Amino acid sequence: MKFKPDSFRTQPGKKIKLSHWATKIKPLYKSEKEYKQMLLDDIRELESLQRLLYASGTRAVLLIFQAMDAAGKDGAISHVMSGVNPEGCDVHSFKTPSAEEAAHDFLWRTTCRLPRRGSIGIFNRSYYEEVLIVKVHPEVLESETLPVELLEAKSIWEGRYRSIADFEKHLHRNGTKVVKFYLHLSKQEQRRRFLARIDDPEKNWKFSMADVKERKYWGSYMKAYEECIAATTTKHAPWHVVPADDKLNARLVVSRIVIDAMKSLGQKMPKVTGPRRRELEAIRRTLVN
């Protein structure tokens, strides 16, 4: 089944109501066997597109994944990007800021991990945590050593939204394609996955009581996501709200959106100029002789 990436893409200037966005849709695959073949085909196409990106060395791609716990970020990243050459792809996971990171502006720690030209960067959580978890738990701001007058400012969140939007426009102007995913999981499916983690010894390490406590703030998180997505959706860096109750389907949706984004860059293998051709012929003669 084919689909248009636009159907999952948010539009600039429009309010977001996540309850109006599906957490589950009709599967793109008819069987698990077909899913595996579809994903394999996408992985091969991504591998080819990544080679073009690496060879041209003029553009970079930044994939940002945000979601509630157990939405499948790790699985989507590991499965979809499994065929990409590690030399041209870096994954960074951002959790609680260190003391050094908290002593800088909120964009600092992620800016240091941006992908270089010719490569793909993946952020598993990102600077968006500063307008999500920090907004739901404003006491976290106290650890960021901000001036008191800024902590008390009512416009702190609007200011951060603007900083993020401006930052992503800056990345676009300098050759980095920003592709943002919000894996949209239902509260009921999260509960089911949490219980599955308890029942599976190999997944016990992924689960803690803190995860359960955060479920109490589900409504606050949904509101924070709605405001964040609406405020930071731009023409060049929209969000993609991906139905995540079906992990396999979500991976296929993510892979197709990444493929679409990379194709839009129009990357080609560098042309061999006259001097370079003569150099290659000289190398050939040396090797032959």
Residue identified by tokens 């009709």 is: 26
Q: Please, which residues bridge with residue 241 across strands? A: 182
Separation of alpha carbons 218 and 221, rounded Å:
5
Separation of alpha carbons 167 and 170, rounded Å:
5
28-56 as b/e: b if 16+ CB within 10 A: bbeeeeebeebbeebbebbeebbebbbeb
Separation of alpha carbons 217 and 211, rounded Å:
11
Rg (C-alpha) for the chain, rounded Å, is 21
pLDDT, averaged in runs of 10, over the chain (289 residues):
79 96 96 96 96 94 97 95 90 91 93 96 97 93 84 87 98 98 98 89 72 91 98 97 98 97 89 76 85
| Per-residue pLDDT at 58 | 94
Helix (H) / strand (E) containing 159: helix 156-173
Q: Which amino acid is at 102?
A: A
Q: Measuring CA to CA, which residue among 10, 77, 46, 71 is closest to residue 231?
A: 10
DSSP state of 130: G
Treating both helix axes as pointing N-terminal to C-terminal, what angle do 156-173 and 218-232 enclose, rounded to 10 degrees? 50
| Per-residue pLDDT at 2 | 66
| Per-residue pLDDT at 207 | 67
Determine the length of the chain.
289
CATH at 15: 3.40.50.300
Q: Is 168 exposed, middle or buried (CB count within 10 Å of its CB: 0-12, 13-18, 19+)?
A: buried
Separation of alpha carbons 14 and 230, rounded Å:
6
Query: Domain range holding 240?
Result: 5-288
Separation of alpha carbons 90 and 260, rounded Å:
20
Number of domains the chain is built from = 1
